[in-house]
């Protein structure tokens, strides 16, 4: 048994354990679905950040992504995994998460650049979750973003939290990879944070789980 195959089994068990923990929190401890969704979202994203330490190629990660995409799609269709799917609004966020993680890892391996995976998934796991929790916690007390006469389903505070955390993540991660804080690094970090925040604000129905890492990845390739 190869090391990568062995770790793929461990990762699969760990991802299943995250889903099971969410079900326990929701069904037994009565934690709101919005929080258990964010728990699963953040935990899976942060766990996947260890992929570059284990995998030299993308095949196993791609297979895991496909498997969990199918599992989550079936669960949504059959109204299973209530800790993720017990919401009144339509959301594709759950099934898009494994697509985003696997897709970002494939691109990072193709281009031999780990930061193209680390930064998008960090923003997805930290910034997106914190912005979402902010909106849930404060609820209707926050003003929704208005663009001309169009009201977005995002709040000014949530988007500010998203931008600030994305900026911090981008600056420190780019410095960790590049070893400097020159003008190019700062501009890249600001561009990533601004672009991701803008796309997140306009993405509805959980599509930000795909559009945010995609936008982040595309901006990073420009620097």
Task: Count Cβ atoms within 10 A of the Cβ of residue 105 and give its class: 0-12 exposed, 13-18 middle, 19 or more buried.
Answer: buried
Q: Whole-model pTM?
A: 0.90
Q: What total number of domains does the chain contain?
A: 1
Tell me: the pLDDT tens digits for 153-211? 677 888 889 999 999 999 999 999 988 778 888 999 999 999 999 999 888 888 889 99
For residues 22-38, b (16+ Cβ closer than 10 Å) or e, as one string? bbebbeeeeeebebbbb
Rg of the chain over CA atoms, in angstroms?
A: 17
Model pLDDT for residues 85-142, shown as the tens digit of each residue: 887 777 787 899 999 999 999 999 999 999 999 999 999 999 988 887 877 676 555 5
Containing structural domain, residue 156: 3-220
Helix axes 208-220, 128-138, angle to 10 degrees: 140
């Amino acid at each position: 048994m190869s090391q990568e195959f062995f770790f793929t089994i461990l990762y699969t068990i760990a991802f299943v354990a995250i889903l099971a923990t969410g079900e326990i929190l929701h069904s037994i401890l009565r934690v709101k679905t919005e929080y258990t969704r964010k728990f699963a979202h953040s935990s899976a994203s942060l766990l996947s950040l260890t992929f570059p330490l284990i995998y030299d190629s993308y095949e196993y990660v791609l297979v895991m992504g496909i498997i969990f995409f199918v599992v989550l799609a079936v669960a949504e269709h059959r109204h299973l995994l209530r800790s993720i799917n017990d919401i009144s609004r339509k959301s594709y966020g759950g099934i898009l998460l494994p697509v985003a993680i696997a897709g970002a890892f494939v691109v990072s391996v193709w281009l031999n650049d780990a930061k193209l995976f680390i930064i998008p998934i960090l923003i997805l796991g930290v910034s997106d979750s914190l912005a979402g929790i902010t909106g849930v916690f404060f609820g209707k007390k926050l003003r929704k973003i208005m663009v001309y006469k169009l009201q977005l389903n995002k709040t000014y505070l949530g988007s500010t939290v998203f931008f600030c955390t994305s900026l911090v993540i981008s600056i420190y991660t780019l410095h960790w990879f590049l070893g400097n804080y020159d003008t190019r690094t700062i501009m890249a970090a600001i561009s990533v944070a601004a672009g991701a925040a803008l796309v997140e604000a306009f993405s509805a129905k959980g599509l930000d789980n795909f559009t945010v890492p995609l936008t982040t990845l595309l901006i990073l390739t420009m620097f």
